[in-house]
Structure 1
Amino acid sequence: MAHIQRDRKKLLTRVRRIAGQVAALEQALETGDDCDAVLVQIAAAKGAMHGLMLEVMAGHLSDHLVAEPDQARREAEAAVLLDLLKRHAR
């Protein structure tokens, strides 16, 4: 996964932001914040996770499908990605 290593700093920044959002959600629940504040925190964390997924998926598409010269490997990687999309859409 060359794209993971290449984009490591950017991806870790996203993960740390997500961790902060989840911590804020936990804090909101612990302190008894109103449900609207909790929902905002949930939406922010979900959006951040979705953005991370898209970032890694774009690298996967670029490096493991578009740039892959071997047809059999491209098909295998496409199958992995399709399975992932099905699980993600649930």
Structure 2
Amino acid sequence: MSHVNQNSPKLFARLNRIKGQVEALDHALKNGVACSAFLHQVASVRGAIDGLMSEALEGHIREHLGENSHTSEERQQDLDEVINVLKTYLK
């Protein structure tokens, strides 16, 4: 997936922010933070993960399903792959 490698600085930056948010969750649990603060942090992590998925998925779609990409058969396989990923992600 060359598009992931091309976008890696942005993706790594997102991952680092997510790591920080998850570490904050760990810290919150260990230190008995209020339930509402914990829930807000969980929601923030989910939003960050959704943003990461959105960016990676957009790159994949543009690279593999764009007009100038691959043969018709390869595009169909890529389309099936995207559909399977989305089904798994949206469960």
- What residue in structure 2 maps to residue 62 of structure 1? 62
Please give the root-mean-square deviation of Cα atoms over the aligned residues, in Å.
0.7
Q: How many residue pairs were aligned?
A: 90
Q: Quote the Cα distance in structure 2 between the aligned partners of 1:39 and 1:32.
A: 13
The TM-score, its normalising length taken from structure 1, stands at 0.97
- For residue 68 of structure 1, give the secondary structure of its aligned residue in structure 2: coil
The TM-score, its normalising length taken from structure 2, stands at 0.96
Q: Quote the Cα distance in structure 1 between the aligned partners of 2:5 and 2:40.
A: 32
- What residue in structure 1 maps to residue 82 of structure 2? 81
One-letter amino acid of the structure 1 residue matched with residue 63 of structure 2: D
- What residue in structure 2 maps to residue 72 of structure 1? 73
Q: Quote the Cα distance in structure 1 between the aligned partners of 2:41 and 2:26.
A: 9
- What residue in structure 1 maps to residue 23 of structure 2? 23
Give the unaligned 5+ runs of structure 2. none
Give the unaligned 5+ runs of structure 1. none
The percent of aligned pairs where both chains have the same amino acid is 37
One-letter amino acid of the structure 1 residue matched with residue 76 of structure 2: E
- What residue in structure 1 maps to residue 44 of structure 2? 44
Contact in 1 for aligned 2:4/2:56 (Cα 8 Å): yes
One-letter amino acid of the structure 2 residue matched with residue 40 of structure 1: H
Give the deviation of 1:70 after TM superposition.
0.6
